[in-house]
Amino acid sequence: MRTVDLSQTSLRELNAELHRLQRTTNETHWRIVNPRGQHAIGVGIDAPIVVEIEGHVGYYCAGMNKEATIVLNGNAGPGVAENMMSGRVHVKGDASQGAGATGCGGLLIVDGNASARCGISMKGIDIVVKGSVGHLSAFMAQAGNLVVLGDAGDALGDSIYEACLFVQGNVASLGADCVEKPLEGRHKIDLARLLEAAGLNGTVDPASFRRYGSARKLYHFHIDNLGSY
C-alpha cells in the first residue's frame, strides 16, 4: 500500500501522481492521511485502484472519478463524486450539498446524511444514502437511481426526467412534475441490487420504500403549465 501524507506532500503532487497511473499499474492501493479538509482530493482518477482517505475533505473530493474505488473515512464537503463516470465512492460520514451532482455512472454510498441538492442533474449514477437528504435532491435528475433510507427534504425530484427515486422515510414535499409511482417487482429487484452493493443485503426490505418519478408533463412547453416552468 502506498501512503501519502498531505501534511508533507502537496495536493497538486498527489493528484498528478494519481493521474499518471495506467490501467495496468501495480500501485493499486493508496492511503491518504491528514487531508485536513483540502479541496479536490483524488479528482479525475482514471484507473482501477483503491484509495482510502483518512479524515475529512473539502469540495469536490473524487470528482470525475472513473473506475477507482474511493473510501472516505470522514465527512465530505460540497460536490463529492461530482460528475462521476464509473467506479465506487463510499463516504463513511456525512456529505454536504450537491453529492453526486451530474454523475453519469458508478455508485456513490453515503453512510450518514447528505445535504441539499443530492444527485442534482444525475445522468446515470446510482446513489445510496443511508441517512436523509436535504431539499431539491434529484433536481432535474435525468437517469440513474437515488435511494434514501431516511427522509427527503422539500421539492424532491423537481423537474425530474427519467431517474428513479426510492425513499424509505418521509418526503417533505415533491417538486414540480414529480409524483409517487407504483413500486413494481422490477423496481424491488433494482433496489435489492443497490442495497446489497451498499452493504445492506438482507437487512432492509425493498418493499418498505416508495418510488417517485416524472409525471412527464414538463417535457414539452404547454401554456397551462406556465407557472411550473
36-57 pLDDT, tens digit per residue, is 999 999 999 999 999 999 999 9
* Closest residue by Cα to residue 114 from 151, 88, 86, 87: 151
- Is it the case that residue 202 has pLDDT exceeding 90? no
Residue 11 and residue 215: Cα distance in Å, rounded?
45
Residue 8 and residue 114: Cα distance in Å, rounded?
31
- 101-149 residue pLDDT tens: 999 999 999 999 999 999 999 999 999 999 999 999 999 999 999 999 9
For the chain, domain boundaries: 2-228
- Please answer whether residues 2 and 51 qualify as being in contact, where contact means their C-beta atoms are separated by less than 8 angstroms: no
- 171-192 residue pLDDT tens: 999 999 999 999 999 999 999 9
- Is it the case that residue 229 has pLDDT exceeding 70? no
Residue 145 and residue 128: Cα distance in Å, rounded?
8
Q: What are the contacts of 100-105 at 24+ separation with CB within 8 A?
A: 100/125, 100/127, 103/127, 103/144
pLDDT for 37: 97
- 52-109 residue pLDDT tens: 999 999 999 999 999 999 999 999 999 999 999 999 999 999 999 999 999 999 999 9
pLDDT for 228: 63
* Closest residue by Cα to residue 165 from 92, 155, 72, 197: 155
Domain 2-228, CATH among 2.30.40.10, 2.160.20.60, 3.40.50.1980, 3.30.300.20:
2.160.20.60
- Please answer whether residues 157 and 180 qualify as being in contact, where contact means their C-beta atoms are separated by less than 8 angstroms: no
Q: Between β-strands 29-33 and 178-181, what pairing exists: parallel, antiparallel or unpaired?
A: unpaired
